[in-house]
Each structure stands twice: as C-alpha cells, then as structure tokens.
Amino acid sequence: MIEDEQPRKRNFKRLWLALAAAAALLAILIVPPLISVSRYKARITQLISASLGRPVRLSSVEVRLLPRPGFVLTDLTVQEDPAYGAEPTLHAETVTAAIRLLSLWRGHLELDTISVDNASVNLVRNSSGHWNLDSLLRTATAQAGGAGKSSPSVRLPYLEATESRINIKNDAEKLPFSLTDAKVSFWQENPGDWRVRMRGQPVRTDLSLEQADTGVVRLEASLRQAPELRLMPVHVDLEWREAQLGQLTRLLLGTDSGWRGDLTGELHIDGTAEAAQIKTRLRAIGVHRAEFTPAAPMDFDANCGLVAHFSTRAVDNLACDSQLGTGHVRLTGTLPGNQSTGHPALSVALDRVPVAFALAALRTVRSGLAPGLEADGAASGQINYAPVAVEEVPVIPVKKYAAKPVVPGPLTGSLTVDGLVLRGNGLSEPLRIPKLVLEPAPVAPNSLSDAPSALAATVAIPAGGTTPLTVAARFALNGYQIGARGQVSIVRGRELARLAGYGAASVLDALAGDAALLDLTAIGPWLPNQQPLPSTLAADTLTGTVTFHNANWKADYLVNRLLISQATLHLESGVTGAAQLRWDPVAFSYGPVKGTASLVLPQSCEAPQTCPPTFQIQFGALESGVLQAAFLGAQVKTTLLATLIERLRPTAAPPWPVLEGTVKADSLALGPVTLHQPAVTLRTRADGAEITAFDAALLGGRVHGTGTYHAALTAKDKPAYTFEGQLEKLSSPVVGQMLGLRSQGGAFNGNGKIELSGFTGDDLAASAQGSLHFDWEKGKIAATNGAIQLPQALARFDHWTADAQIANGVLTLKNSEAKRGNAMQPVEAAIPLSVPPKIVFAAPKLAQAKHY
C-alpha cells in the first residue's frame, strides 16, 4: 500500500511543476502586454534620478521577465550638475534595470541593479578642484543616513558598466585622455558600506596608440558612511600594469620620448581625505633608449609611504626607498599645505650609488648622449632641503667696500663621488677624477627668492696643456650649467667635445698645433623641451671662445696646410636657439700669401632655406706672381693649381664645401696695371665657383663685373673661366701709358666679356675669346717713340668708339672709327695679349675721309 502511494506522490509533484511552468510561460506571454509601461516610466526615471543625484531622461521603457524581472531602458541620459558643465554625465543607448522583488511585497518599486553597456561616462573636475562624482557620494551618504528613519529611503542600486568609455574633462574642456573597454561596478555591500571596482585601458583620443602597450588600470575601493564626505573612510588599491614606456610617454606627453621598458605602478590608500595613509610602488624593468640596447638595462623598484592631507594639500612622514644597482637611495621629508606657514623639508641620502646608474638614467632621458661611454665610481652623502623665509635671514652689517655676506640657502649637506673614471666613446685615455664633492651653491644676497637651488662642484682635469683645465659644474632640478676654463690640447679637446655630444666637433678634425685656451659655458635642461636656467637661453646651449696659436689646418680639398698664427673660435647661441660657429679673427698664411679671415658656420636653418657658411678674407698688397705661385701654380702637374683642379673634380661626395663670402685686398698688381681695393663676392660649388660681383679701382677709374669658374672634369680638361664687366671713367693718360703712348682727354669707358681656360698665362692668352666695346671722348694720342706709327685721326679726335674681338691671343679692333667734327675715319689696330701689351696700328688708307 505504501509502495503504491509513493509513485502517486511523485506524479502529483510533477503535475504541479508542469502547471507552475505553464502558468509562468503564460505570464511571460500575457502579462507584459497588459502592463501599462507608461505608468512606470516616470517612476523609473524618478528612482534612477534619486539614486544618482542627477536629473535623468530616457526615451522608452520595456518590461522584461527573464532571466529576472526588470526593465529595458532606451536612450538613457544622466544630466550633469550645472557646476560641472552642460554635457551629460552618462549616456547609454540601452540600459537594463532589474527590480528588487521584495520591494513589490512592500507595495513600492525599487531597482536592484542598473546595467549599462557601451556607455559614455564623463568625469569632470571643476576649477575649485572638485569632481562631479562628489554629489553621487553625498547622495549615497544621505541615503544611508536616512536608513533609520521612518520614511522609506531610496536605496542605491547595484551599478555596473561594461565595454564602456570613461572621458576626463577639466571644466568644459574635454581632455584627450580616456579609459576604454572599461568595466565598472559600484554597489552597497552593507548599510553604510560601498564598494567600487573598475578595470580599463587608458588611451589618448588625439593620437594613434598601440593600445596593447598602454597597460591596464585596475581599481578596487571601499567607502564607509560618515557625517561629511571629507571624513568618509576609504580604502583604495590602484594598479597600472603592463605599460610600455614608449607608448606611456606618448599617452601622457603626446610624443614618444624614446624610452623603452616595462612599467608597473601600485597605489594603496587607507584613511580619509583629512589623513590618508598612502603607499606606492613603482617598478621598471629593462629601461633604455630606443636607439640602442645597453649591456645592462636600468631596473629599479621604488617604494614610498606618506600621510596625505588632501584638504590642505599637505604631506607628512614621506619616506621613499629604492635599490639602485649595488647602492641605495632614500628620500624623507614633509610638505606643508597651502594653509600652513611652515616650509617644506626634504632629505636625500645616497649610499654607494653607482655613477654608472646615473649615467644610464641620463642617457635614457637624453638621446645621443655618448652611447659608448662607461663610468666607474660611486656616490654617497646626504642633501637636505629646508628653505628659509626672507624675514628669517639675519641682516649682518658690513663695512663699505667689504665683501657681501653669503646668504644661507635652502640646501645643506654634500655628496661625494669617489673613484670617478670615464672611459670609451673615443677617449684615448680614461678621464680620472679621484674625488668629486658636490655642495650647495652659494646664493646671491639680493636674489634669495629667485635663485634656484643647486649643487656645485669644481675640479681640475689634466687635458694636455701646461696648466689643468678647470671645470665648474652647477646642477639644479631642472637643468645644468658647466663651465670650462684653461688649456687643452687639440686632440683632447676634440675627444671631450665628442664625449659631450657636441655635433660640431668635426670642425676640429683637420686642426693641429699648440694647446688651445678654452673659455666655454654649457647650459640646458635634463629633459628635452624642459625650460632651462636661465629662462632667456634656449635648451642645450654652448657659448664661449676657443683660442688657438701656432696651429695648422689641413682639409681634404686643400693641397697644403693652412698655417694659423692665431685664431679664435666663437660658439654663439641666441635666445631662440639659433646657434653658429664663428672664426674671427684668423691670421693665416698659405705659402707666400698672408691675410686675415673670418668664417661663420650656422648650425641650423629653417627649411626650405639653405644656410651655407659665409667668409670674409682680407689681404694686403698682392702681386700677380705671388698669387700665381700660391694659388694658380705652373702648368706642371705637381703644382698647387694642377692638384687643386684635380681635387675639384666632382665625385660621389663633392670635395669642396659650399661657401659664400667676399675676398678683399689693398691692391693687386697684374702685370702693367694695378687693381686698388679689389673686392670679390663669390660662391663656391662642387664643380667650381661663381663670382657674383667684382669691383676695383683700375687705371684711374673703376671696373665692375661678374664671372664663373669651372673645374676640369677629367685629366685632359683644363679649368675654364668666364668674365663679363664694365670699365667706368678710366683715365686716358693712364690707359695710354699702359699701351706705351702719350694720351690725354676725357674718360675711357667700355664693356665686354671673355672666355678663357688653362693653367698658365700663355694658356689663358691663347685660349681667350670674347669682345670689347669702348668709347673715348675728346682725346689725343702721341707716340713715345718712332716705332709706333699713329693714324692721323688719333692725333686729335672728338669721339673714338670701337668694337674689338678677342681671339688667337690678340685683341683686334673692329668697327673702329675716330670722329673729329663731321669727319669720321676708321682706325685699325691689334694688341697682342702679352706682358707688356704693345699696340700695333695698321697703315692709314688713302681713301677719302667720310664727311657728314
């Protein structure tokens, strides 16, 4: 009997289950259409608005019974508090709001969970430093405070967002920083106890980033009820993992600083806004520059602890420790807030920190800094920072003309570097400094508030001169300043310039001679684009002079060495960062030719402009034979000119640099004539030079012209020249004297052009081709001896004009006519291009003179 009742009971239960399932199915199908959704829209809007403390707007509401009863909200917008702007705090296309079933038994509707997907959330910080989430937390606090009242309070639902985007704004300005693929949860775990969980990937909206390399941010936080928000106890665990330094700098700074390595940061907060215990940890692995991978990449693991007072911006009990290589560094101190009359106090202690670590850190933030340099030595000591107010500085009376007292600065203590050795990177011998002491730099009495806090050191370094090179260094938080005074050998100076990363060190490659005298100052920031000290100078500037004596310079495009008795190299930098090298003055000799020169080499130029070096050369009195021996040479291939022309032939890399400048002399004797104050403006190029202007006093007048020079391209070629110019107001007596004649009259004017080639004067005369036109007003000519037969027309004339042809080593007068009154008579003559020139007139023709 009992056995028969058990199957009946099981069947009965199954029937009830089937009936319950059918009833639920019917409810799902029948009940939703019967519910008046519009009846709940206002109520749902009111519930969400009361829960978030913000006005809420939505488009439509749908009822959903599975998998749990709730509502599907469309186009949900949570308005912003006007104090933080007009853009909505949150916007989502679709939102799911689940119902608290127990609230229905109590006769009112409550939301249990609000879930959004692909939402856009704005976090806003206004000018007073408050965030738009403050009101949400105040709402939650007020709701918890009303839990014990008789009137029902609006309970904060479980808020969650997935696949969403969190934007950051500063007042009305939307910053380019966002958190994408964000998952956020906010809920009340117990009455008066809230929890926050967030995970997302930081991005920058104005740049294209490798998002996988920006890392992942995770946040776990808990908050407890308090009468005021500033007294609310919080616990925060924040972690930023798997961040690659290159993408991280692009994210934070907008540009890739060239750093590589993996970074992980942790932040833990316990307490309230009035007093929060904070612990941080920053770990970096494999830090190096992108250009090279060092043998030992820089790793560090820094831990810090402090007590922060956010309301007053004060920090107490700051203590940071980090192992650096085989050494250790520790930072301690306090930072008073904006409501305190005290001063910050910090202390940094180093214990055998390797200099190699400091070099690696500097090489990481600065590109191109001596990649082959190695450093030995260790730094130990302690530096304390405790600024003194101006009113606290004692006033010490001093006598007139006595030295001003040194005002105590904010820094005390010292750092000692023992056994500093720099080797490699082109140094022929290691640079050794047995002991280097860094001490606080003195502060000027009248600039206490403006003077930067810095450490200074002075050392004497043997550098190949008769006296050591004195180096004075000053290191501040935002930059450095290094001065070098004394003698240095040219070889050692070239090595030190390359060690410092000076790009124009190659200017010394072809220089040799006695030790040079340095007076240089380098100044710049530690980080690129950081404002250096003083603010009027551009970043990374090198200024000063280098003076050379008894030196010689040998360039690839010169056959012989240029002997330099004295030269001063000026390194100049302007306030805009424009830099140049200026050699001025340079006293030199090249063979028998002596002169002075200046040369300016710009270090930068704005595209598309070109900035070739510019020069000025000044000679004294010159004689053509001396010039030919020094610069033109003879026709044999071992002379200067032959070798110079050979070197001027174009190659894959043009041997001559592009230069622009002027050459001047007191005088230049050219056979029977002398040019006074000649000045040539020219521009060199790969295949020769271009004379853009030539001007000189000649034969009582002046000559102006232009020209070109073309180098020989092959061994069979000869250098070629072209000249075109004008003769203005030449003195007729002086012109006649040059031709062996006695003449007088008005000015001699002309113009012409000539092309010639060769190595010697005979070559040039034989190859000369061109033309000459001249005019001579009111003149008369007489022969100095009976060897010259003058045409009767030249004994006295009103106007003599002629066109001459230059060919086959002779200048022949063509279309030459002398006019006297109304009579015009032809004059034929030839002048061989020899030294001295001798004019030969043709026998006068018996034809009747023309009358007009």
| Average pLDDT, 10 consecutive residues per value, the chain (852 residues) | 58 62 52 53 77 80 72 85 84 82 56 84 82 68 49 66 88 85 86 87 80 85 81 91 83 78 92 91 85 74 91 89 90 83 87 90 76 89 80 48 58 93 88 92 52 82 90 87 92 82 70 90 74 49 89 75 90 61 89 89 70 90 70 44 45 64 90 87 85 93 92 69 93 86 90 85 82 92 78 89 92 90 89 82 59 46
3-state secondary structure of 244: strand
The span from the first CA to the last CA of the chain, in angstroms, equals 167
Whole-structure pTM over 0.85, yes or no?
no
Spatial separation of the C-alpha atoms in residues 732 and 725, rounded to whole Å:
19
Best CA proximity match to 368, nearest among 465, 498, 235:
498
Report phi then psi at 450, rounded to 5: -100, -20
Strands 541-553 and 479-488: unpaired
H/E run at residue 40: helix 37-52
Contacts of 482 by beta carbon, 8 Å cutoff, 6+ apart: 471, 472, 473, 474, 521, 522, 523
Q: Tell me what pLDDT residue 350 has.
A: 95
**Residue whose token pair is 């912003």:** 80
Q: Are 298 and 284 a contacting pair, CB within 8 Å? A: yes
* Angle ∠(482,484,485) on CA atoms, nearest 5: 150
